[in-house]
Amino acid sequence: FSALLDIVTPLLQAYSLGQDVENKYGETGYDLLQKLKKKIKSADAQTKKTVNETPDSEDGEDEKWRKKLAEEAEFEYEEQLPRYDCGEEYEDTSTKETFDQFTERIRNEHAAKATRDRQHIFWRDRKRKLESDDSSEKTKKPHKESEDEKLKAAREQMKKNFKPGVEVKLNRYKSQKENYERKFSYLLGHLAGKTLTFGCIPWPCLDLTLLGDILFSDFEDKQGPDYRKYLRSQQVRWHPDKFTQKFKDYMHPDHVTKIMGKVKAISQFLNKLSSDLHDKET
């Protein structure tokens, strides 16, 4: 239709005689114009027919589709949850509660509730019980504290009774001195082929505060000649120069510093004992 308005109509207005000219097929412009008009009319009629028929056909298709979906849904529902066909064979076997049964049930429920209420402890009663427990606990506390004090005193007395006495301690010091002298004598006789570390040296005591008690534990007179003689021998034994001269070739290189540090400490302790002894004489 747009071709008719845009092309054919302007040509007819410009050159009206052109519609009588024939082409090689013997058709004039007028004939072609009539064919074009017929095609346009037939196309319009077909369009109107399609518009009028389409809603009915679409409604019909939609209705068929909805019915089909409903049938499928019903089929699936019955497959999953089949219907129960309640026919004449069904009999209601449940018995109805009589009035006597009803009254009996109510009476039993009431009795059970009354029992629960009697067993229930109300907060006011619980509070009174807690207060009474607190008061009794307070009255018991002094008695408990007195028992703790007695127990503590008994423990202290037991510690005093079982505390090692002077005699026991002295015997232990004497035993340590004997072990020291025995090990040192053994070392002097078996130096060949040995490498001495700090742990191989038979020290009289590693704790310098107990050194005097152990070395002179068997001397009652701390100013007698025997005491002085033994003190002098220990000074010679633990003198750094004398010790180095005797054990230099046997000490492990990594332990020389540690060994000599301990030797010097023992030597200084013995020298102080000797100087204190001389001070007492003067």
Sign of the torsion formed by the C-alpha atoms of 245, 247, 253 and 254: negative
* Number of domains observed in the structure of the chain: 2
Is pLDDT above 80 for 202?
yes
Q: Which long-range contacts (CB under 8 A, 24 or more apart) does 179-186 make?
A: 180/204, 180/205, 180/214, 184/237
Is pLDDT above 90 for 91?
no
Q: Which residues, other chains included, contact 255 with Cβ-Cβ below 8 Å and sequence gap of 6+?
A: 196, 197, 198
- 86 occurs within a structural domain: no
Mean pLDDT, to the nearest integer, of 169-190?
90
Domain that residue 202 falls in:
167-279
- 88 occurs within a structural domain: no
Q: Which position has the higher pLDDT, 264 or 52? A: 264
| pTM, 2 dp | 0.43
Number of H helices, E strands in the chain: 10, 0
Given this model, what pLDDT does residue 163 score?
56
- 101 occurs within a structural domain: no
- 63 occurs within a structural domain: no
The answer to whether residues 248 and 196 touch, using CB atoms and an 8 Å cutoff, is no
Mean pLDDT, to the nearest integer, of 66-70?
83
- 232 occurs within a structural domain: yes
Per DSSP, the three-state class of 251 is strand
Per DSSP, the three-state class of 28 is strand
* DSSP label at residue 27: -
Given this model, what pLDDT does residue 156 score?
79
Given 45, 60, 79, the domain boundary residue is 45
Q: Which position has the higher pLDDT, 254 or 55? A: 254
Instruction: Tell me what the pLDDT averaged over the chain comes to.
Output: 79
- 123 occurs within a structural domain: no
The answer to whether residues 264 and 240 touch, using CB atoms and an 8 Å cutoff, is yes
- 241 occurs within a structural domain: yes
Q: Which residues, other chains included, contact 211 with Cβ-Cβ below 8 Å and sequence gap of 6+?
A: 204, 205, 266, 269
- 8 occurs within a structural domain: yes
pLDDT band at 123 (very low <50, low <70, confident <90, very high): low
The residues pairing with 28 across neighbouring beta strands, listed in sequence order, are 22
Q: Is 266 exposed, middle or buried (0-12, 13-18, 19+ CB in 10 A)?
A: buried
